[in-house]
Amino acid sequence: MKRNLFIKLIFVILSLGAFLVIISPMNYDEWKTFGECKNSLKRVGITSKQEIQDILDSDVVMLGERHHEATHRNASLALLRSFARCGYVNLADEALSSVYVKDGRLKSGTYPSRISAQEQDVDYLEMIEGAERVGYRVSAYEGNYDFGPARERERQRDLEQAINIKSIVNKFGKTVSIGGQGHIRDKNYKLANILEHRLHLNVTTFFLLNPEISKIVGMPSNLRKSVGSQFVTRADLADFKTYNWSNIDYLVNPNLTPNTQEDGR
């Protein structure tokens, strides 16, 4: 009897050891991160395992906004809170003026935008401060491109922005970037294309729509119906190519921004 009990005890110990080898600290951390990310992304409408894994595997999530559209501030902050649970630790903002940032934090008592339409935009300030509250460090990524013909300046601008974002990722880790909608278009000299194809970063793109969904020209009717009923919609690339934004991964309806205030670290 004692011998059988001893054998069973040895078997339990060996089984437990094998389990601990399989569930190593790294695997456990990955499993825990996936679970937290899954729960957080569910709040914004991203639920499939593959979509969650794609965001976890990305180096940069790009949000394409309209700088003058205040509703995009709230939508961006909702997404930032969700991404914070997926390992994103940096916010790189095109509109952010570097003179208002020190050591990854906003200087107090300032309106941080360098863009005139946002200089007194309280929603913009609240977005930046809200990102800080859930653990993001903030960075400006605009470059110095004020030379040469207009088209050359445009291309140089996106290249310098891409190099700056790459530097932020290399130094500090996974990054959410917020910039004008045009920068996430799939053209050879545009920011998203440079990051992914020339600087070899994994990129996921979110396009923040005009809140007047019915007035968006050229959007296929089935896509218009989908974005009219949910905050985040996976872009159907086959249809969306006709809308000339062929590399967009997700469309965001800012009218349906959810409350993600409980998310973040």
Look at residue 265 and tell me whether its pLDDT is greater than 70. Answer: no
Contact 207, 248 (CB under 8 A): yes
Q: Give the span between the Cα atoms of 223 and 216, in whole angstroms.
A: 11
Q: Residue 44 has what pLDDT? A: 94
Percentage of the chain beyond pLDDT 90 is: 42
Confidence label for 206 from pLDDT (cuts 50, 70 and 90)? very high
Instruction: State residue 103's pLDDT score.
Output: 80
Q: Tell me the average pLDDT across 185-205.
A: 87
When mean pLDDT is compared over 56-70, 88-102, 131-145, 244-258, the highest value belongs to 56-70
DSSP letters spanning 213-230: GGG-TT--HHHHHHHTT-
**Which DSSP string corresponds to 87-156?**
T--EEEETTB-GGGEETTEEPTT---B-SGGGTT-HHHHHHHHHHHHTT-EEEE-------S-HHHHHHH
pLDDT digits (tens, 9 = 90+) for 49-68: 999 999 999 999 999 998 88
Per-residue DSSP letter, 86: T
Q: Is the pLDDT of residue 104 over 50?
A: yes
What is the number of helices (H) and of strands (E) in the chain? 9, 9
Categorize the per-residue pLDDT at 244 as very low, low, confident or very high, splitting at 50, 70 and 90.
low
pTM more than 0.85: no
CB atoms near residue 126 (< 10 Å): 13
Look at residue 224 in the predicted model and tell me its pLDDT. Answer: 80
Q: Specify whether the backbone of 103 is left (phi greater than 0), alpha (psi in -120 to 50) or beta.
A: left
For the chain, what are the domain ranges? 2-256
- Of 76-80, 86-90, 137-141, least confident by mean pLDDT is 137-141
Range scoring the smallest mean pLDDT among 76-90, 139-153, 212-226, 246-260: 139-153
Q: What does the pLDDT look like over 142-189, one tens digit per residue?
A: 876 665 566 677 788 889 999 999 999 999 999 999 999 888 876 777
Q: What is the CATH number of domain 2-256?
A: 3.40.50
Map tokens 């107090």 to a residue.
Answer: 108
Instruction: Please check the confidence at residue 17 and state whether its pLDDT lies above 90.
Output: no
Look at the alpha carbons of 110, 73, 120, 150 in this order and tell me if their dihedral is positive or negative.
Answer: positive
Mean pLDDT of 222-249: 74
Contact by Cβ (8 Å): 143, 114: no
Per the prediction, the chain carries an average pLDDT of 81
Kindly state the greatest CA–CA separation across the chain. Answer: 90
pLDDT at 21 (0 to 100): 47
